[in-house]
Amino acid sequence: MTVAISQKDQVLTPSVAAQKGYPDVRADIDNVTRPVVFGLFTTAIMWLVVASVLNCITALKLQFPSFLNFSFLSYGRVAPAAEGVFLLGWCSLAGMGVGLWIVMRQSSRTSPGVGMAYLGVGLWNLGVLVGLVATLMGQVRPFAGLEFPFASAVLIFAGFSFVAFWLFLSFDGGAENTPIASMFVLGAICWFVWSFLTGNLLLSSNRFTGAMEHIVSAWTSHGLVWLWLVPLAFGVAYYLVPKVTGRPIFSGPVARVSFWLFFILGGLTSMVQLSGGPVPLWLTSVGSGASILLLVPIGAIIYNLYASAKGSDRVGVSPSASFVRFGLIVALVAAAFAALGSLRSVDHIVHSTLFHVGVQSLVLQGFVSMVIFGAIYYIMPRLSGCEWISSSLISLHFLGASYGVAMGCVMLLLSGVFSGIDLADADSLFSQVLQSSAFFYWGRTMSFGLLFVGYAAFVLHFVLMVLRIGQPEGEATLMRGAHGH
């Protein structure tokens, strides 16, 4: 089906639109997208649970190497499996569900072929499952961030392509001005299609070896985080902030310029991962400079969003706004640490440590995940027809996730700095390096406990919403302690 809605209708709530005699086209869009979005959200949350369990195992194994002493649960297998499931399972599936809903809402139309999207969701999940099993069985590719085997990548790409194709069929490309949120979402999807396909084909062809192989893998894995998930999360934030506050974006030109700057600079930052390796020095220098300059578009995006929400009394009480606000703060912190870590004098100390893992955790767990959580809190009442049942569960989720992310990432960053200083000291023994890191491992394990509590509250709440066990459609459920909009 194809439906259209006027610009005037887009700013009306469903009840007001009905009173004025306008067709509530958004309800038609929700009816079409509901099964696909539910499928993406439900399977993504299942992978979030799996990734959380695997992450807890990796944290415990750093302290107790004999814990669950099975070959398929060794640290070298569980760690990449947890990372792959979290990135390609939870973040990517949930992010695609949010992005699909946003683009169709802003295009105000849908297209036939929803069966193609169902097939895509199934293939995508099969790809993640194949990758998880293969990794635990020891079939791990020697590329950081791309450990899942090629067969898994093929299935994931095929599934992604079917869902993305259905989304692009529904996108109104003839619109005079593409909304900022849709620009970021569609830009992220286009980059994923190009980068993920190209990188995996080149790596599997065996035509690139040595330094070129590592350059391709660094470019591909870096793009999965910084040019797929990060711009997707920014697009979600650009959609949610005006919706929650009822105010337009502060500056459209700033948003569009920062969009192009982000994608131009973001693609140049990947070579920082290869500093000190057998690659031309100018490549890592370009990556370092781009990492510093990337602070400009990221800072502009965050300033634009904060200026749009400034003075609104809804920001402090809306669950969606609270998660997005936390995520944007973390995004700026992560970008600053990434720029700091790209400096040659700093990278010399932290390169072979957990510092860069901490930066990536800030991006994925602190920014991308939190923004996606905020979007799900906004979208689910519109798809399920009822509001969230408990403000206490929402607050528990927010506190557990925010404190858990903050503690875990701080532990990783500090562990990287202190162990790096010890490694740089020629008089230090390796046992001293391990001892200096042991304290931070305890903190990281405790952080996963907080995350697990927060995620458990969210999963329970989501299941209740899917079963339509919630408050009847009406007033939105606010954060605990809030008494107004």
Do residues 218 and 273 make contact, with C-beta atoms less than 8 angstroms apart? yes
Query: Which H or E element spans position 195?
Result: helix 180-204
Residue 409 in domain: no
SS3 state of residue 382 = helix
Tokens of 415: 């562990």
Tally of structural domains, the chain: 1
Which pLDDT belongs to residue 270? 87
**Angle at alpha carbon of residue 129, lines to 112 and 412, rounded to 5°:** 110
388 belongs to a structural domain: no
Given a contact cutoff of 8 angstroms between Cβ atoms, the answer to whether 377 and 323 are in contact is yes
pTM over the 0.85 mark: yes
Residue 451: what pLDDT?
93
CA Rg, the chain, in Å? 22
Question: Who's near 135: CB < 8 A, 6+ residues apart?
Answer: 77, 80, 81, 84, 147, 148, 149
| Mean per-residue pLDDT pooled into runs of 10, the chain (485 residues) | 35 40 66 91 96 91 83 90 95 96 85 86 97 94 90 96 90 73 95 92 83 88 94 96 91 94 92 82 90 96 94 83 95 95 89 89 96 95 88 93 94 89 74 74 88 94 86 68 42
SS3 at position 356:
helix
| CA angle centred on 357, ends 294 and 301, rounded to 5° | 25
In a domain, 145, yes or no: yes
Instruction: Characterize the bridge pairing of strands 471-472 and 386-387.
Output: antiparallel
Single out the residue of 312, 294, 306 nearest to residue 258, CA to CA.
294
Within-domain flag for 218: no
Is 227 domain-assigned? Answer: no
pLDDT at 211: 81
| Closest by CA position to 269, among listed 247, 305, 300, 293 | 293
Helix, coil or strand: residue 179 = coil
Q: Pick the closest to residue 222 from 303, 146, 283 (CA basis).
A: 146
Domain annotation covers residue 300: no
Tokens 């107790």 belong to 64
Q: What is the pLDDT of residue 480?
A: 59
* 235 within a domain of the structure (yes/no): no
Separation of alpha carbons 302 and 234, rounded Å:
9
Domain with 172 in it:
26-176
List alpha helices for 65-170, DSSP H.
Answer: 75-84, 92-107, 114-136, 150-170
Residue 378 has which token pair?
Answer: 């906004």
- Is residue 462 included in any domain, yes or no? no
